[in-house]
Amino acid sequence: DSTGYDTDNDGCLDDGDGDSITDDIDQCLTEDSTGYDTDNDGCLDDTDGDGFTDNIDICPNEDSTGYDLDSDGCLDDEDSDGYRDAFDSCLGTPLGEVIVSLGCSDSQLDDDNDGLMNNVDQCPNEASTGFDVDNDGCLDDPDNDGYTDDVDLCPNENSTGFDTNGDGCLDDTDGDGYTDDVDQCPNEDSTSYDKDNDGCLDINTPPICDIYYSMEDQGVVVQGDAVLTSVSGSGSIQIPPGRYFIVANCYDPEGDVVSATITSPIGSVSESGTTIAVGALVEVVEEMDFTIPVSVVWDDGVNQNQANIVVELGDVPQQSTPGFVSTLTIISMISAVLYLRRQEQN
């Protein structure tokens, strides 16, 4: 029955587009689908569904939707790098550059995300962000100690050979303020006494305190023979009745500040300086049956000495130097103590 589909009244179903699919079943009456109609619906197939029928689609099995500027039914490759634009991670690759990954050349990749592309980054796998003054893509190490600035706590201090904890800083093993590269005694804390700044404890020469006495009417005299000489110890002085000054004259051979205190029954006197004198007034009376203790303490901040003197009533001495009396037994004892102290220091 050709009813409705027989415009030429020949009693046969028309095939208006000549594709051998009669109009009664042809879904595309004006479209000749010959050769491109596998489902026999009378319409040109679009196998890949990209909007281009197979008769004009150069790539009938490749969906070019969104990537076909020339409308040929094929995915474009606008930079001609061999990667279709749909799969090309780097569109616009410069002509002639070698593709290293997914359509990208080194000039388009920044593997370490430091802002420098791989083709100019000398350290493409090392993120140098914030520590790359010369913009070479590598972490800087301006002090050349092997620790890059991102981990170097002392980026301008070459710690080579003197950095056991790996922080990029010169060690100061003994904590005396001198780094081990200049510290001649790296395991000796020289904080207390190091005048030459070599990191070693200096040998400190003790201060010298010579003790004199003279009659009050002669005034304070600090020259001539000393009763006690620059050591700790004890001794006695036998002197006839009268009022006497006992004076300690102190100084340090190295110029250190010396502090000294002299103490007698009437009180104490203290002084500090590079050269000082401290004194006490004592009175020896006739028929005195007691002794007068006098002590002198002196130090330079490192060494401390003390002399304990007992003043006793004595006969009028034979004096080799006017105004002074030296007691041989005391000097012999002090000399022995001085010798022993020097032996201990050595």
> 29-42: per-residue pLDDT in tens?
888 888 888 888 88
Q: What is the pLDDT of residue 328?
A: 31
* Closest by CA position to 296, among listed 211, 215, 214: 211
Q: What is the pLDDT of residue 117?
A: 92
**Global confidence as pTM:** 0.48
* Cα–Cα distance for residue pair 17/31, rounded to 1 Å: 6
List domains and CATH numbers for the chain: 208-345 (2.60.40)
Q: What is the pLDDT of residue 50?
A: 92
DSSP conformation class of 133: T
Q: What is the pLDDT of residue 228?
A: 61
| Euclidean distance between the first and the last CA atom of the chain, given in angstroms as a whole number | 137
**Are residues 302 and 193 in contact, defined by beta-carbon separation less than 8 angstroms?**
yes
> How many CA within 13 A on the CB side of residue 78?
13
Q: What is the pLDDT of residue 288?
A: 92
* Cα–Cα distance for residue pair 181/143, rounded to 1 Å: 15
Q: What is the pLDDT of residue 35?
A: 85
Q: What is the pLDDT of residue 231?
A: 55
Q: What is the pLDDT of residue 135?
A: 93
* Dihedral (Cα; 73, 50, 84, 79), 10-degree rounding: 60
* Cα–Cα distance for residue pair 118/124, rounded to 1 Å: 5
Q: What is the pLDDT of residue 294?
A: 94
Residue stretches of the chain with pLDDT short of 70: 218-232, 316-346
Q: What is the pLDDT of residue 78?
A: 87
Q: What is the pLDDT of residue 276?
A: 94
* Cα–Cα distance for residue pair 231/334, rounded to 1 Å: 6
